[in-house]
A and B are shown apart, each in its own frame.
Chain A
Amino acid sequence: MTETLKTFSPDLKALKPYGSALDDGKIQLSFTLPIPNNAIAIAAAKLLAEKMGMISVQVAHAVDLGGFTFFVVYGSTVHKVDITSISVPEITMKKISRDEFDAEIKKRLGRRLVVIGACIGDDAHTVGIDAIMNKKGYAGHYGLESYHMIDVMNLGAQVSAETLIEKVREYRPDAVLASQVVTERDFHRENLSELSELLEAAGLRDSVVAICGGPRITHELALELGFDAGFGPGSYAEDVASFIFQKMMERGRL
């Protein structure tokens, strides 16, 4: 009995991947080397995997892509992690429904909340910001536009940080949402820091809840760049609305 239990209890101070048995450390990996497929390429792939901390490396598949070689590699990692020492900033909030949100805002604020959002920089991918802001929302989760107590202004694609700041100055929103989908060469970091610096410089930072979102955005990154929150994949309008509500409560604005 104790033996069985032990088999299924991972050591949280020395956690390893689980392939088909505890602590086997199994990893599957695929990558391409920009050289033709031959014995040297396969040896190179194996060596690379070993340098990544894998042992018992098996190059399961190597195929020529036309001068380059694509590999599927298996092995066991020698590394382990102590997860008791990890701390990750996570958004902690109480999720509230659209009806609750509308009722609370009506009661506490007595006016509609103003939210401005945009895809900033050169980014033209509005899928994310539309999913959060537009009435229709995404996957059955209605967007902020469907809230009675929110006035939504979705500025759409390719809005410069300067333009967004002008709009903030003009409309004095309660929250600003910035979306970044394209992350090539870290443009998202650059654009978002620019926006957060400009908000600060314009003396507008404290008057808004600043939120960013996108497939590669984490809450941790958002905090680092000077935002109040960052929403990644799987976030919906109600998450954003709940966060805005909570942050405004914290700041004594509601």
Chain B
Amino acid sequence: MIKLDLDRNKIDKARSCAKSIASKVQEMIIRHSTHSVERAVLRLMGLDGVDDKGVPLPNILVGHLSDRLDNGIALLAASAMIQKGLTIEELAQKVSEGSLDLRNEKINDPEVASKLAVDLARKGFELIEQQRNNRENAIVKLGQSPQPWLYVIVATGNIYADVIQADMVVRQGADVVAVIRSTGQSLLDFVPHGPTTEGFGGTFATRANFAIMREALDKAGEREGRYIRQVNYASGLCMPEIAVLGAMERLDMMLNDCLYGILFRDINPIRTFVDQHFSRMINAFAGIIINTGEDNYLTTADAVEKGHTVLASDFINEAFAGLSGLSPWQMGLGHAFEINPDISDSLSLEIAMAALVRKCFPDAPIKYMPPTKHMTGDIFFGYVLNTMFNLVGTLTDQGIQLLGMLTEASHTPFVSDRYLSLKNARYVFNAARSLGSQIQFDSEGLVSRRATEVLNEAVEELSQIEKEGLLAAIARGAFADIKRSTAGGKGANGVILKGPNYFNPAYPILAERIDAAITEVNKS
């Protein structure tokens, strides 16, 4: 690894500030649930499918019982199943038809109902566990590429066309395939159902689409002799549900940030914090690597001036991830190559930032995002910029390299754009494979000075946030120059203050593995 001297104490200080920031928010998080958490619970208990109008059944039940959710949906559903002698799906279908009304239904025997709820949820977790084992076995059998992994996006809107393009990029050397979502999906308060062939700038994330892509990537991986990872987005209004469905269909990575939805989708802060916690516990259990979205800060804010906010946010994302039981190897903390290429020594500044993030989180597979802001219709210069990005990625041992596209500023990538970006990255990674480990930066030089400066600024920023509280910091515009109030944003009406008898059958099962869940079990 690249040699760069940093003040250990400063890194420790940043980490301890972030932990204190996150733990204060965590007190608020564990007092709440959300509609999407409750729907995720129903999905774990085996509820899937849609009614005759196409509404997902978890939405039917949660919507029907929305006035009674303070103690969770699981007991209500399980108790009704017992009393009516119905499966969970029949229960939801009858509610949808209007032939069953559970709004005043009493829970006769909470103990029996809770046992049923846990038994059902355990079946869901067994499926997730099995997928985790399948992944681990496939990696042992097929092997995997050394990091940085080559990550590319497909996004045709049609899952069957995505499969063709995904197969092509695997042949060309990709290790990770992300199916970017339809632009509208993050703000849908439900998960669409079934295979989809129409989307806007992307393909809808559905369980069926996950499975179709999984099968294709497994086949391609077998052929090429390396395990290929699939990525989707546990973000927006349905983080917990997408996490559950992704875990069941063996997604390998999930975009799953603790702040992104608040800042960039104007989703209610409490909703997002509660949702990220539950979804991350699922990801922790499933062995999924999360990706965080700090790169987005630099599309609005300047990369030199606000580099420290990226680092500060990485520490905060790490702290929240820890509180959800994710291990460092599962934390794909994000940052980006977004410094204006016109400024002098921009390459040194990029190396400083990349090396700094790498050093602060030595066990995390750092997710490195390509230039976007300074990409123009000049695809030839864009290709040069992407080459520099690849060089910095390999020099500084990034974990996950999201490849830049030369047509970034123009359109959804052509298949040839992906080919060119993979060829570029494979060349640079191979050509500079051991170069980073031979470099020792002068402690008085620009790279060291810049890394120290960003670290110091991040510590200051984190100390300030620790003092004022994260929610206040978000309201003042600490991240990405965007201000969000705690009460505002979309999805606020789906936040539930937990009652004294709140019950969630996922907690006792998660608690067997994840320390983070134990707190909640004790609470409820």
Q: Is A124's CB under 8 angstroms from B415's CB? A: no
Contact of A66 among B172, B183, B186, B411 (CB under 8 A): B172
Measured as residues with beta carbon below 8 angstroms from the partner, the interface class of chain A is 20 to 34
Sample of 11 further A-B pairs with CB below 8 A, known A31-B416, A122-B201: A32-B414, A32-B416, A65-B171, A67-B168, A70-B419, A130-B300, A134-B300, A136-B301, A157-B264, A157-B266, A233-B377
* Docked pose: A65 CA to B422 CA in angstroms: 11
* Docked pose: A10 CA to B409 CA in angstroms: 32
Q: Is A182 an interface residue (CB 8 A)?
A: yes
Within 8 A of A (CB), among B20-66: none
Q: Is B410 an interface residue (CB 8 A)?
A: yes
Seen from chain B, the residues whose Cβ lies within 8 Å of a Cβ on chain A are: 157, 167-172, 182-184, 186-187, 200-201, 264-266, 299-302, 340, 373, 376-377, 409-412, 414-416, 419, 481
Q: Which residues of B contact A130 (CB under 8 A)?
A: 300
Contact of A134 among B183, B201, B376, B481 (CB under 8 A): B481
Q: Is A183 an interface residue (CB 8 A)?
A: yes
Q: Which residues of B contact A134 (CB under 8 A)?
A: 300, 481
Within 8 A of B (CB), among A98-127: 122-127
Q: Is A65's CB under 8 angstroms from B172's CB? A: yes
- A18-36 vs B, CB cutoff 8 Å, 1 = contact: the mask equals 0000000000001110000
Q: Which of chain A's residues has its CB closest to B423's CB?
A: A63
Closest chain A CB from B196 CB (angstroms)? 15
Q: Which of chain B's residues has its CB closest to A69's CB?
A: B416
Seen from chain A, the residues whose Cβ lies within 8 Å of a Cβ on chain B are: 30-32, 63, 65-68, 70, 122-127, 130, 134-136, 139, 156-158, 182-184, 187, 215, 233
* Docked pose: A135 CA to B480 CA in angstroms: 12
Q: Which of chain A's residues has its CB closest to B305's CB?
A: A136
* Docked pose: A101 CA to B411 CA in angstroms: 35
Q: Is A182's CB under 8 angstroms from B416's CB? A: no
Closest chain A CB from B260 CB (angstroms)? 12
Cβ contacts A to B, 14 pairs, < 8 Å: A66-B168, A122-B201, A123-B183, A126-B264, A136-B300, A136-B301, A136-B302, A157-B264, A182-B183, A184-B200, A184-B201, A187-B200, A215-B409, A233-B376
Q: Which of chain B's residues has its CB closest to A66's CB?
A: B171
Q: Which residues of B contact A123 (CB under 8 A)?
A: 183
Contact of B200 among A63, A70, A122 (CB under 8 A): A122
* Known contacts A63-B419, A184-B412, A187-B200; A122/B184 CB under 8 A: yes
Q: Which residues of A contact B301 (CB under 8 A)?
A: 136
* Known contacts A65-B172, A156-B266, A215-B409; A32/B415 CB under 8 A: yes
* Docked pose: A67 CA to B264 CA in angstroms: 38
Closest chain B CB from A214 CB (angstroms)? 11
* Known contacts A122-B200, A134-B300, A134-B481; A65/B415 CB under 8 A: yes
